[in-house]
Structure 1
Amino acid sequence: MLLTLVCISVAVAHGVDANTQQFLQANQGLAIGPFLYIGAKHMVTGYDHLLFLLGVIFFLFRTRDILIYVSLFTLGHSLTLFFGVLGNIAVNAYLIDAIIGLSVVYKGFDNLGGFQKLFGWQPDTKMAVLVFGLFHGLGLATKLQDFDLPEHDLWKNLLAFNVGVELGQFLALFFILILLSFWRRFDSYFSFAVLTNTLLMAAGLVLCGYQMAGYVLTK
């Protein structure tokens, strides 16, 4: 059973479905609409990105704070998405995705006050979100680098993909914030905060473990 789960993880590690693979392999020019769609779809279905964002905004109650943190995350993943693909920066996709899993663990641990309790210090939360955003963007870049995308109009297609990612992120955040706003009306929100963030850490550890298993199996 464990081996089956690991094999499934390896198979879907890059998060690109068959139809998207077929399009990316066949595309030879400017395709704004399709790249917009692919970027939005990837973010909406990217559970690792969404879990991290959930952790980021879990204890943010002011719109201004949410905008600041989400903007830092957006800046980070936009930079490495563009420079990763255009600069052909080769990184192992499994290791990057394992770090993305650890970013989820970090955010859950941070929300629980783990750094203060265990180490007596608090990392700069804004800087951490920006740095992990860089890794998330590199993860996006590795998925596109698996395909031999034509150089002609590449930056335009990347821009469309990134805009799609942002649209997907906005849509996902919209629904997440609606659910959180509703839940925050009840005392259970804070009563279950420890459990929720513990589960967030557990999910991040599982994601990291799956990606490391994929790395080992493909060596």
Structure 2
Amino acid sequence: MLTRTVLFIICLLPALAIAHNIAGGDASFVASNAGAAPGPFIYLGAKHMVTGYDHLLFLAGVIFFLSRALDVIKYVTLFAAGHSITLIIGVLGDIAINAYFIDAIIALSVVYKALENMGAFQTLGRWKPDTRAAVFVFGLFHGFGLASSLQELQLAPEGLLINLISFNLGVEIGQMIALFMIFIVFMLWRQHPSFQRQAFLSNTLLMTAGFLLMFYQLAAWQLAA
């Protein structure tokens, strides 16, 4: 099931890479809005996360082998804490980071998680990366990615903090909705004998998707220069 999903995503990567940014009517609203608008910004945050293929691929990798809800909550909380910090600090502090570079690192986080699931770091012994720390650190980069999407729209200073908090709340809501669906799919898949047989292949495809996303962003960066 996940194998087919990742293959489908790989085929759509160029279109998805363009569609992920806040654009169209949403961008027009954000650019013209002045003052606090918590409702619309919650909606925009949720929509941004649900359509955030790179964030969702990373989360899918994080919970791939997690069967207990408490473990899922623990790792997702670390991820949420990381991206919440840098989302708010990035926008309020006007920290300008190249969006292509950040998106390439976000794609690299997908590669990292897939490699970890494939056991690539087992031979490193005590030098093996700490899974919890890695999820938090990559969460920081994911937050800068969210911040860069908002910074491109030049938000009005009136009501900025409330709008940022609302957007972040929307991101969390969207993340919980998407994560619940992914967790259910994994839970059902684990009951089938194909899960163990296809786990390595699925993570190989996940890694491939991450590499393709990374190369796409780096190429776009060079073309935009």
- Superposition TM-score tier, normalisation by shorter sequence: over 0.9
Deviations 1:185-209 (A, max 9, x none): 1111111000000000000001101
Deviations 1:19-58 (A, max 9, x none): 1111111111111111000000000000000000000000
Does the CA-based 8 Å contact 2:13-2:213 persist in structure 1? no
User: What pairs up with 1:180-219 in 2 under 5 angstroms?
Assistant: 180-219=186-225
* 1:102 match: secondary structure: helix
Map of 1:27 onto structure 2: 33
Question: Structure 2 unaligned runs (5+)?
Answer: 1-11
User: What pairs up with 1:71-90 in 2 under 5 angstroms?
Assistant: 71-90=77-96
Name the Cα RMSD after superposition.
Answer: 1.7
Give distance in 1, aligned partners of 2:222 and 2:19: 13
Does the CA-based 8 Å contact 1:99-1:135 persist in structure 2? yes
* Matched residue type, 1:78: S
Map of 1:47 onto structure 2: 53
Does the CA-based 8 Å contact 1:13-1:94 persist in structure 2? no
TM-score normalised according to structure 2 size: 0.91
Which stretches of structure 1, 4 residues or longer, exceed 6 Å deviation after superposition? Answer: none
User: What pairs up with 1:43-192 in 2 under 5 angstroms?
Assistant: 43-117=49-123, 119-120=124-125, 121-192=127-198
* Matched residue type, 1:26: S
Does the CA-based 8 Å contact 1:13-1:211 persist in structure 2? no
Give distance in 2, aligned partners of 1:77 and 1:114: 26
1:17 offset after TM fit, Å? 2.5
Identity %: 56
Does the CA-based 8 Å contact 1:24-1:149 persist in structure 2? yes
* 2:154 match: secondary structure: coil
Give distance in 2, aligned partners of 1:182 and 1:24: 39
Does the CA-based 8 Å contact 1:6-1:213 persist in structure 2? no
TM-score normalised according to structure 1 size: 0.93
Question: Structure 1 unaligned runs (5+)?
Answer: none
Deviations 1:48-107 (A, max 9, x none): 000000000001111111111000000000000000000000100000000000000000
Paired positions, count: 213
Judged with a 3 Å threshold, the aligned counterparts in structure 2 of structure 1 residues 74 and 20 are, in CA distance, closer, same or farther, namely same
1:159 offset after TM fit, Å? 0.5
